[in-house]
Structure 1
Amino acid sequence: MIVRMWVLEARSAEAEARGLLTPAELSRADELGREQVRRTFVTSRAVQRALGARHLGVAAAEVGISRACAHCGDGDHGKPHFTAAPELDFSVSHTGDLVVIAASTGTRVGLDVELGSRTIEIEEMVRVLASESEQRSLDGLDGDTLRTALFRVWARKEATVKLTGHGLLQVPFSALSVDGPVVRVDGAPDGWPEEPIHLTDLSLGHGSVAALATTVAKPEVDIVTLARVSDLSV
């Protein structure tokens, strides 16, 4: 079973990416105040459309993408999916200037990428993020080793809830344990997958820490670095 992933830098991709968006998406992008936020939004939406175009054989602007929540029905905060291609599960993540998308027809997927150089409050992050077993594992670490371990836990938990489509109000991070190859959850909420959620750590460079969650064990991961968004459609 293969999970395909594409990686690109938003700074070099934004100009071309704008040409793949709908007028509504462009209008929303232009309302975003910070340049980096706008650039990331444009590139993220464009790679999703390019992926849909590749799979469906249509123009990028014609790809229907729903963000309706599968758990509460809200129309704008659920896991995105292609309305005409429910068989293709995908997940997108970004950090700094990096935008990454993962997709598969053989498993559900959740992806998260975190920039390892970002400023964090170590003690607060441990308190909010770590389960009891993870806190015991982290207690013996310090310095850069502790920072990297925290970012790894963070990326694994974000990838998990991106796969399931649950928010932090439905499953707090401290209720998840990701210190093994399979996620453990304390009090699974409604809609939690019946099958195990498997975790794969990724090496994407750019000073990032990344994780992939899947409902199939040990997926084959094919990672391609793109120079342009439109290269994904080829």
Structure 2
Amino acid sequence: MLKLLEDQQQQLIQEGRNLSDDLDKFFTVFRDLNRRISAQSRRLSEEVADDLRLEGITKAEVRIQSTIDELGFWEPLKLFAQRYKEWRESGQTLPSEDYLNTLADVVDLLRSDQQYSFESLLRLELHLNEGGTDLVIKNDRQLLESSSHGMAYLILCKFLLAFTRLLRGDAEIAIHWPIDEIGTLAYHNVEKLFDACDSNRIHIVGAFPNPESDVLLLFANRYLIDRDDTQPNKRVLKRIEPRLSRLAERLQERQQEVTV
């Protein structure tokens, strides 16, 4: 009988160790994620360079906040990992009562059907100083409410530049950005955006239906998808030159007269 009880005790202890090992590995994964998110946040903030200066914006930072510390099981899990380490290092066959209590707390909090995606474990925040006011932006609605449409557009491009640099690293590659509604921005801001992209080996690609806009001059390659006169159902690609507005034509003519 004593031998049977002893075998059952050893079996129960081994099952407890197996469970504790799994929970300890679970804790290690989440702890490493917590540290990596913090490290990536610092790297991303460093990548927000001044190659796209925006009027009125004196500070621009990206912060990736970890939400792991906000999880209900995180503090009990950290305490459990500490108690489990103490048990292993003690050399005792049986765990302490403190260890058993922390194990019970973690098991109660962790449900078997819980799943966590990487996206759910972090929160992206944009920290800006616009016009002397500090702003913390956590979603697109806050961004639109805090700035005009054009400024919000450029702020996103500024941070996207940082993400692009971070993802590309030292790779000698060029990246193409498809950008829409670029014609809604003021010309001087669009020019700043093109300059910043050129210095980062980024080529802007967009559909631009207005051939009279000065913005079209910023594109190195300009093409028009048009019908083929000989085959109505076929489309052909034609290189085009932007049309000058009447005002631009008059200014060009006036400049030529002055030169002559």
Taking structure 1 as the reference length, what is the TM-score of the superposition?
0.26
The structure carrying a bigger helix percent of its residues is: 2
Taking structure 2 as the reference length, what is the TM-score of the superposition?
0.24
Larger RCO (CA within 8 A; separation ≥ 6): 1
The structure carrying a bigger strand percent of its residues is: 1
